[in-house]
Amino acid sequence: MSQHKDGEAQHGVAYNPNNGLEAFLSGLWEQNPVFVQVLGMCPTLAITNTVRNCIAMGLATMFVLVCSNTLVSMIRKLVPKQVRIATYILVIATAVTVVDYLVKAISVPIYQALGPFIPLIVANCIVLGRAEAFAARNPVGAAALDGAGVGIGFTFGLSCIGAIREVLGAGTLLGFSVFGPNFQPWVLFQLPPGGFFTLAIWLASMTAWKRRRQNRLVLAAQASEVRV
């Protein structure tokens, strides 16, 4: 037991059974990789022209996150500090190779639509960041939950952007017509600049919502102080 605590202390993080659950919930919303941390912008802006692509890319990234976090957590005490980044990249590359073959086997059209962005998950700062910041400092269960939470949060962020781009840019949602045959698509939202515009809309909306929520909390706190 003391050996386990000493190992955790070397990484500077004390083991907390709630770490995994907290990280899972945080990755969904408070530290969402798309809307809060603004990470992984290459696939976010490139493949979000349809919701189907967003879900496929998000699930592929979540698979890599869960696998890499789990393996990094398992070997974290065996890897010398000097080569830890190279080792993490090797682990991530292995998971990416697996998911690359899986996507190709499940759906060739989706594989072709995602193009090089599946192999580029290796260079996604979200994956390496979670391996270094969390998986290398926490037990296997917590690391797996962290990867799942961040992966679901990434999928959610991509899908929010993809929904607007597909509905406005093609008049469909998941391939089904939304506005009927007379709708004139806003082609801009299917082009790369549409990704920037849609992301900006979401970020501005979430910032405004957070400010209103914070103001309401401040007013509620002031009102409670007055009552006391």
- Mind giving me the DSSP string for 21-64? HHHHHIIIIIT-TTTTS---HHHHHHSTTSHHHHHHHHHHHHHH
Structure tokens at 209: 């919502």
- 112: in domain: yes
What count of residues does the chain have?
Answer: 228
Instruction: Determine the pLDDT at residue 2.
Output: 41
Rounded to 5 degrees, φ, ψ at 36 are -110, -55
Domain count, the chain: 1
Task: Name the pLDDT band for 140 (thresholds 50, 70, 90).
Answer: very high
Coil, helix or strand at residue 95: helix
Structure tokens at 75: 């070997």
- 225: in domain: no
Domain span at 142: 2-213
Instruction: Determine the pLDDT at residue 168.
Output: 92
Instruction: Determine the pLDDT at residue 63.
Output: 96
Question: Over pLDDT 90: what percentage of the chain?
Answer: 49
Cα–Cα dist 25/154, whole Å: 13
Instruction: Determine the pLDDT at residue 94.
Output: 95
**Is pLDDT of 223 > 70?**
yes
**Is pLDDT of 7 > 60?**
no
Coil, helix or strand at residue 85: helix
- 159: in domain: yes
- 224: in domain: no
- 221: in domain: no
- 220: in domain: no
- 137: in domain: yes
* Residue partners of 196: CB distance under 8 A and separation at least 6: 45
Instruction: Determine the pLDDT at residue 91.
Output: 95
Rounded to 5 degrees, φ, ψ at 180 are 90, 175
- Which tens digits make up the pLDDT trace of 143-184? 999 999 999 999 999 999 999 999 999 899 988 888 888 888
Query: Are 56 and 103 a contacting pair, CB within 8 Å?
Result: yes
Cα–Cα dist 167/170, whole Å: 6
Closest Cα to residue 186, out of 164, 201, 202? 164
Task: Name the pLDDT band for 201 (thresholds 50, 70, 90).
Answer: very high
Cα–Cα dist 173/163, whole Å: 7
- Which tens digits make up the pLDDT trace of 16-46? 545 667 878 888 888 889 998 888 888 898 8
Instruction: Determine the pLDDT at residue 19.
Output: 62
